[in-house]
Structure 1
């Protein structure tokens, strides 16, 4: 009968505990880094909000990164189609962000306007009804990137045509939308329609960079697990040593 070497068992347990503790610590540090990134993003967003308002009819750049976070106004008209961004949760309810293509003046540029959130009413195959807006108007809002996707599915960039005027997507991909015929030249940024505009929906805009507290909470949990692994391992080793000596 083979005799188990208790020293090797104890050493293996110690190595495994140190590995887990190091892993959990690294995950905690990663969450702290994510919290810092969120904090910096929010600070930059607020800073850009203090800059002068952009007139998109007179802009000289098409760089979405340079425009991000700025307040802006634009004259033109909605051209359609309606783009429903799927899997948007508000107060525990599933719904869509409603994007509509907006022709910028007499140019070939098209801007995606986020008009707000609507709930999914029961059957997902039921197509929401929208009023056709074609008259020229001036919009105001804030320029922002579309929501990031969580789990990126293979078909998340496909444009699902629900009707002649309404399509549904799993993520906003400007190249995919352009290929699907949404506008002649999409500006790589979206406009969060101001709350006072009549043609919008639920618009409780959350600034990017939110969720810092969540990442700090995750970091605390990972660090707590790292400490727990070390403490439990020490207790087990001490008990094994005590049992062996007795």
Structure 2
């Protein structure tokens, strides 16, 4: 075998290969991290429900923990776009509740029902319960808030606080009390571990293809051979 690499092509190929392999390893790490997060969330959900003060002011990770419903702090209802566990679109209904003293905010949002786009609003039911969850954040294509109609498509602290007639800092922004529909939150469910593994396989496939093309190009130029032939 003899091999005489092309300097310029090799200069570009080595960092490209390192990048592709690195992306694959990163996706495998993301898959493992996501598995750990899902396991932690499901374990937290199985724990007994806590009063809001104990949940947020105690020790341990509060996200995913079941919470006892506090008393609403007013009658204002805010609508946040969402879907049922069956996928039906509609408005998730939230009311403000008093936040515990350890939180640097006076109010926290609490889900109290769901209004389908083609039906009447309904309560989530006692069986659903509440969990402390991270609210959805706006993406590049998320519609803007409609505070006058009290309709929102993501968590916008300033707009939501304005609809409640309070200052933005009065509304707790790290989490809210969401109805527990038995499903994983979107941040964990949208890209499951299996998809991260699929992404990793794709990146490793690109890396393998790069090696094949690199070798085939050198072989075609007579710079790579597995025999003892001369140039």
Q: Flag whether TM exceeds 0.5 (same fold).
A: yes
Residue of structure 2 equivalent to 1:216: 197
Report if aligned partners of 2:91, 2:114 keep a CA contact under 8 Å in 1.
yes
Separation (CA, whole Å) in 1 of partners of 2:41 and 2:67: 14
Q: Secondary structure at the match of 2:183?
A: coil
Report the CA distance shift for 1:231/1:115 in structure 2 as closer, same or farther (over 3 A).
farther
Are the counterparts in 2 of residues 79 and 100 from structure 1 also a CA contact under 8 Å?
A: no
* Equivalent residue in structure 1 for 2:161, among 178, 186, 208: 178
Do the aligned residues in 2 keep the contact of 1:97 with 1:114 (CA within 8 Å)? no
Match of 1:198 in 2: none
Structure 1 residue 227 displacement after superposition: 1.0
What aligned pairs does 1:77-88 form with structure 2 within 5 A after superposition?
A: 77=72, 79-85=75-81
TM-score (norm 1): 0.65
Give the alignment partner of residue 43 of structure 1, picking from 28, 39, 46.
39
In structure 2, the CA distance between the partners of 1:32 and 1:148, relative to structure 1 (3 Å rule), is farther
Query: Quick one: distance in 2 between partners of 1:60 and 1:34?
Result: 28
Structure 1 Cα separation of the partners of residues 214 and 45 of structure 2? 51
Please list every run of 5 or more consecutive structure 2 residues that lacks an aligned counterpart in the other structure: 225-229
- Sort the Cα spacing of 1:23 and 1:53 in 2 relative to 1 into closer, same or farther, 3 A: same
CA distance in 1, matches of 2:202, 2:129: 42
Gaps of 5+ in 1: 1-6, 122-127, 195-202
Please provide the CA RMSD for this pair: 4.1
Q: Residue 28 of structure 1: SS of its match in structure 2?
A: helix
What secondary structure does 1:76 align onto? coil
> Aligned to 1:206, which of 141, 163, 184?
184
In structure 2, distance between residues paired with 1:109 and 1:41: 27
Q: Deviation of residue 204 (structure 1)?
A: 5.8
Match of 2:66 among 68, 71, 79: 71
Of the structure 1 ranges 96-105 and 10-19, higher mean CA displacement relative to structure 2 is found in 96-105
Q: In structure 1, what is the equivalent of residue 176 of structure 2?
A: 190
Alignment of 1:29-40 (within 5 A): 29-40=25-36
User: Does structure 1 retain, via aligned residues, the 8 Å contact 2:95–2:112?
Assistant: no
More strand by share: 1
- Tell me the TM-score normalized by structure 2: 0.68
